[in-house]
Amino acid sequence: VLLGLLALLVQGSAGFGKAQADALTEANQLLVLLILGASFMGSALSVREIISERAIYQRESAVGLGSGQYVASKLVLFGVETLIQSVILLAVLLLGKPGPGAGTIFGSGAFELGLVVWLTTWTSAMLGLLVSSLVRSTEQTMPALVVLVMSQFVMSGGMIAVSENVLHQGLAAMFGGRWGFAAAA
């Protein structure tokens, strides 16, 4: 809710509609905030998950829990949790700003934007799980979360052009924030 309310601070009244003279970059700023919010929500949701459950997983693995089952449960759990988060974020924003017009695939621009925000949040949760599996203690998760979210923000393409340099393109392709920003735009 708070991330959606923060996005309402963007100057302008056109929202995702046609830009007006008083706020030419309003739609771009809203997209950057949505994708950054999605990246943050997903990553923060899962970045401590595996490291905090490592002892439990090892004990359950010893009695037959497969890693595929464990990962599948996380995919489903975070799929539902990120869907709820994304719906709330976008609903708050669309209550205060006009939404996008007609969609390209499903006919509804708001639905398509919501789908993109959800998938970005979900993939960010999966990146958070990856980070959680690589760190050695819960104290290491917060610095890793900051780096992960800032990387998503910079590599999304909303702030700096990442399509003009081959190195930037390659790095950006590894982040869900880049795919989310491109799809939302």
What pLDDT score was predicted for residue 8? 81
DSSP class of residue 147?
H
What pLDDT score was predicted for residue 47? 92
Digit-by-digit pLDDT tens for the chain (185 residues) are 888 888 888 877 777 877 777 777 778 888 888 988 999 999 999 998 888 888 888 888 888 878 888 888 899 999 999 999 999 999 999 998 888 888 788 888 889 999 999 999 999 999 999 999 898 888 888 999 998 888 888 887 777 777 777 887 888 877 888 888 888 88
What pLDDT score was predicted for residue 148? 87
Q: What is the DSSP string of 73-131?
A: HHHHHHHHHHHHHHHHHHHHHHHHS----B-SSSSBHHHHHHHHHHHHHHHHHHHHHHH
Task: List, in order, residues 6 or more apart from 122 with CB less than 8 Å away.
Answer: 42, 78, 79, 82, 83
What pLDDT score was predicted for residue 91? 93
Place of tokens 């621009």: 109
pTM score: 0.85
Neighbours of 175 (CB within 10 A): 24
Residue 79 backbone phi and psi in degrees, to 5? -60, -45
- CA distances 8 to 34, 79, 166, Å, are 11, 26, 35
